[in-house]
Amino acid sequence: MAIDYKALKNGGFMRQIQKNHFSLRLKVVGGNLTASQLRAIAEISETYGDGHVHLTSRQGVEIPFVRLQDVEAVKTALEVGGVHTGVCGPRVRTVTACQGSAVCPSGCIDTYPLAVEISDRYFGRELPHKFKFGVTGCANNCLKAEENDVGIKGGYTVDWRAEACTLCGVCVKACRAGAITQTDSAIALDRAKCNHCGRCAKACPFDAWAAEPGYLLSFGGTFGNLIARGEEILPILRAKEDVFRAADAALAFFDQYGRPGERFRLSIEREGWAAFRQYMHQHTSKS
Amino acid sequence: MANPVISGAVDITDVVCPVTFVKVKVALEELEDGQVLSVRLNDGEPVQNIPRSLKEEGQRILKLTDNGDQTYTLLVRKAGD
Whether residue A202 lies within 8 A of chain B, CB to CB, comes out as yes
Instruction: Say which CATH number the domain at A214 has.
Output: 3.30.413.10
Q: Is the same domain home to A211 and A146?
A: yes
Q: Please, which residues have CB within 8 angstroms of residue A142's CB and are 6 or more apart in sequence?
A: A98, A136
Is the pLDDT at A88 greater than 80? The verdict is yes
| Residue A2 near residue A11, CB atoms below 8 Å | no
| Chain B CA closest to residue A177 | B48
B62–A contact, CB cutoff 8 A:
yes
A219-250 pLDDT, tens digit each:
999 999 999 999 999 999 999 999 999 999 99
Do residues A144 and A221 share a domain? yes
Residue A104 pLDDT greater than 70, yes or no = yes
Identify whether the C-beta of residue A5 lies closer than 8 Å to the C-beta of residue A15.
Answer: yes
Is A188 inside a domain boundary?
no
User: Inter-chain contact A170–B64, Cβ cutoff 8 Å?
Assistant: yes
Whether residue A18 sits in one domain with residue A139 = no
Q: What is the CATH number of domain B6-77?
A: 3.30.110.40
Give yes or no: residues A30 and A145 share one domain: no
**B80 pLDDT above the threshold of 80:** no
CATH code of the domain in which A74 resides: 3.30.70.3340
pLDDT exceeds cutoff 90 at A2 = no
pLDDT at A11: 78
CA-closest candidate to residue A195, choices A142, A149, A158, A143 = A158
The CA distance from A227 to A38, in Å, is 33
Cross-chain CB nearest to B52 (options A166, A174, A176): A174
Query: CB of B1 within 8 Å of any CB in chain A?
Result: yes
Q: Comparing A7 with A31, which gets the higher pLDDT?
A: A31
Domain spans of chain B, in order of start:
6-77
Max Cα distance, chain A (Å) = 82
Q: Pick from B1, B51, B63: which is nearest to A203 by CB?
A: B51
| A211 shares a domain with A105 | yes
Residues 27-46 of B with CB under 8 A from A: 43
Tell whether B61 lies on the interface with A, counting CB pairs under 8 A: yes
pTM value?
0.89
How near does any CA of chain A get to the CA of B30, in Å? 22
CA distance A279 to A55: 37
pLDDT digits (tens, 9 = 90+) for B35-72: 999 999 999 889 888 998 999 899 999 888 889 999 99
Residue A160 lies in a domain: no
Q: Name every chain A residue with its beta carbon within 8 A of the beta carbon of B72.
A: 173
According to the model, what pLDDT value does residue A186 have? 95
Q: What is the ipTM of this complex?
A: 0.74
Q: Which domain holds residue A221?
A: 96-150+203-284
Determine the residue of chain B that is closest to A105 in CA distance: B56
Size of interface A-B (CB pairs under 8 A): 39
Any chain A CB within 8 A of the CB of B65?
A: yes
Residue A234 lies in a domain: yes
Identify whether A189 is part of a domain: no
Say if the Cβ atoms of A205 and B48 lie within 8 Å: no
Note the pLDDT of residue B2: 65
Query: Helix crossing, B45-56 with B19-29: angle to 10°?
Result: 40
Query: B49 to chain A nearest CA, in Å?
Result: 7
Backbone angles phi, psi at A10, to 5 degrees: -60, -30
Q: What is the mean pLDDT of residues A256-272?
A: 97
Among residues 167-196 of chain A, which lie with CB inside 8 Å of chain B? 168-170, 173-174, 176
Q: Per the CB < 8 Å rule, is B51 touching A199? A: no
Q: Is A197 on the interface with B (CB under 8 A)?
A: no
Q: Give the pLDDT of residue B30.
A: 95
- Among chain A residues, the shortest Cα distance to B63 is held by A168
